[in-house]
Structure 1
Amino acid sequence: MATTEIYRYLHVSELQVALDPEGYLIELEEWSPAVAEALASEEGITLSEEHWEVIDVLRNFYRRYELAPAMRPLVKAVGLALGEEKGRSIHLMRLFPGSPAKLAARIAGLPKPTHCL
C-alpha cells in the first residue's frame, strides 16, 4: 500500500487524527462519531439525525463493497435504505452542499469516492 502524505492533523479530544491534503482520514480506523462531528464542523455543518442516516448508509456501503460510492450509487443506496424521498440528489445536496458524495464520505471517515473530481 502506498503511503499517503499527511497534510495536517485534526484535534479531537486528546487525539490527533492525520488527514491527507484533501481532508480525508489517512487511517480509516481513527474515525469515530466525534471525528465526524469535528470534520462536519470545519464545513459549517451541524450533524442532524438526517446526516447520521446518510453516514450510516455510507459506512454500510463501504463495509459491503470496500469503496465509497460516487453520486449515482450514493443516491441509489440512500433511496434503498431510507426511502425514495431521501434518496434524491436535492436532499443530499441540502445535507452535504457542493459535492455530497465527497463531503459525506469524508465526514463518514471513508476514502474519496472513485470517479469524483
Structure 2
Amino acid sequence: MKDREVAGKIVSFDDENFMVNYKDWDLDVATALAQEEGLPSLNDRHLTVLEFLRKTYEEKGTGPTIRRLTKESGVPTKELYALFPGAPAKKAARIAGIPKPKGCI
C-alpha cells in the first residue's frame, strides 16, 4: 500500500493503483485520477458510469462485471470503450475510487 497526494488529499492505493478506501473519493479526486489515466476531462457519460460503479460497490461490496455495467448503467459497450479506452472496467474502477472488480484480469 502506498499513500500519495491526489487533488490536495492524501489517498492510499494498493499495488495495482486502486484506491484502498472508496470514501476518500470525490469529484476532484476523480478528475485527477482520470487525467492520470489519460482522460483530459470527465463528462456526464463518464459520471454516469462512475456513479453506477460506486453505487454497485456500496450495495454489493464489489464492482460490477463489464457485462452488468453495460446492461444496467445505460452505457453500451462501444461507448464504454470510447469513454474509457483500453481496459474500461479497470480504468473506470480506478477513477471511481473502488477496488478492482472481481473477474478483472
Compute the TM-score of the two structures, normalised by the length of structure 1: 0.81
* 1:1-117 matched pairs, under 5 angstroms: 5-6=1-2, 8-13=3-8, 15-45=9-39, 46-79=41-74, 86=75, 88-117=76-105
Q: Which 5+ residue runs of structure 1 have no aligned equivalent?
A: 80-85
Q: Which runs of 5+ in 2 are unaligned?
A: none
Give the TM-score taking structure 2 as reference length.
Answer: 0.89
Given that residues 11 and 17 in structure 1 are in contact (C-alpha distance below 8 angstroms), is that contact kept between their aligned partners in structure 2? yes
Percentage identity across aligned positions? 39
* Offset at residue 10 of structure 1 (A): 3.4
Query: Which has the higher Rg, Structure 1 or Structure 2?
Result: 1
Q: Aligned to 1:47, what secondary structure does the other structure show?
A: coil
By relative contact order (CA 8 Å, sep 6+), the higher-ranking structure is 2
Q: Secondary structure at the match of 1:16?
A: strand
Superposition deviation, residue 65 in structure 1: 1.6
Aligned pair count reads 104
Q: Which runs of 4+ in 1 moved over 6 A?
A: none
**CA–CA distance in structure 1, aligned partners of residues 87 and 13 of structure 2:** 19
CA RMSD of aligned residues (A): 1.4
